[in-house]
Amino acid sequence: MATLLGDASPAEFAEAFEAESRSRFNQFLHGLDLYRHHPYRRRLKDAPVVWQAGGVSLRSYGGPEDGLPVLAIPSLVNRAYVLDLNGKRSFMRWLARRGFRPFLVDWGDPLEERRFSLGDYVLHRLEPAAAEVLRLTGRKPAVIGYCMGGVLTLALAQRRPDLCAAYVGLATPWNFHAGSGGGLRLLLETRQKVAEAVEHLGFLPVDILQAMFSGLDPGSISRKFRMFSGLPQSSDKAKAFVALEDWVNDGVPLAGPAAQECLLHWYGENRTFRQEWAVDGQTIRPGGLTIPSLTIVPLNDRIVPPGSAIALSDALRGAPGGTTRLDVPLGHIGMMTGSAAVRTVYGPLARWLRRACAETPAEQPG
């Protein structure tokens, strides 16, 4: 310690520490103020709805009629437009331009779904949505699940291979006890109290969700706004920051039963990893998947620790449909919206889809 501090006295160190802390705090406040008053607004028109059930809708992004259909399924706890953020960062529109025929599950607000369990979402929303894509296109879609959506999508793919041509899990958690960060420990320690609040309210509020995600990396909020304060505010990078931050703050509550399952069964008892999580009586076991699968693991992920997503890849080994894993040097959100996403994630994913689904025959709706 003496070497690090040099000849500084305790008083001098305290003064320098206070000055640096004050400077960083002022940078944070300045960045926050710049964000609040930034002129950027998302003006991208949402893709048209082609099917709806309750608060959940299916959006079509066009593409050639004979293109491979792709059904993308995001997390339940964030707005779906993270996959269609703006004109420059849209996974869905990129797929359409590359000859695919993409569809996006938009969870909307859980009004009719307020009493849904996770299994209910699979049975009564995802399976009918996949069936609708098959009806519209005449082909089974490749299904792509992002984050929590990847777990639900795996259940869809295992239960209904007649509706799915291939499975892709993007930053998909499987071992919910992987990672040893303080944020994860705090989440595990508080899950019971949060579950009690959910039981009382009937849903998991957005504010609690935000606090839980922020707790996984508490310093990230200060870091990102200090970084933003130093950007030219008219730059594309600044606009991308505002677009993403607007999405982060545009959360949706989670239906009570589904939230209870997430907190107690997934995080608490790790039922996915222990292969004890079931949908309508059918246990979800990745090793039994009969269609080709790909897992993409962002190695800089602070929301889904890499070990959690790698556990899914490991569980898929030996599955009859075959499996592939791709590790990328990106973060949880950056893998879909960052400047390197097209080269590192979109491109390899598209090439894999073409290979995996090359032999999938077209089908006529039944």
Strand, coil or helix: 255: strand
Q: Would the pLDDT of 341 be above 90?
A: yes
Average of per-residue pLDDT values in the chain: 90
- Give dist(CA 297, CA 299) in Å, integer: 6
Phi-psi region of 280 (alpha: psi -120 to 50; beta: other; left: phi over 0): left
End-to-end CA separation in angstroms for the chain: 73
Q: Which residues contact 3 (CB under 8 A, 6 or more apart)?
A: none
Q: Which residues contact 265 (CB under 8 A, 6 or more apart)?
A: 271, 277
Return the closest-CA partner of residue 118 out of 160, 148, 87.
Answer: 148
Percent over 70 (pLDDT), the chain: 92
User: What pLDDT digit, counting tens, does each position of 318-331 carry?
Assistant: 999 999 999 999 99
Does the pTM of the predicted model rise above 0.85? yes
Higher pLDDT, 265 or 215: 265
- The CATH classification number of 49-179+252-356 equals 3.40.50.1820
Q: Which residues contact 8 (CB under 8 A, 6 or more apart)?
A: 16
Give the pLDDT score at 274: 96
> What are the percentages of helix, strand and coil residues in the chain, rounded to 5?
50, 15, 40
Domain boundaries, the chain: 49-179+252-356
Q: Would the pLDDT of 216 be above 70?
A: no
- Give dist(CA 156, CA 149) in Å, integer: 10
Higher pLDDT, 211 or 225: 225
Which pLDDT band, with edges at 50, 70 and 90, does 180 fall under?
low
Question: Which amino acid, residue 130?
Answer: A
Give the pLDDT score at 352: 98
Strand, coil or helix: 363: coil
- Give dist(CA 200, CA 303) in Å, integer: 27
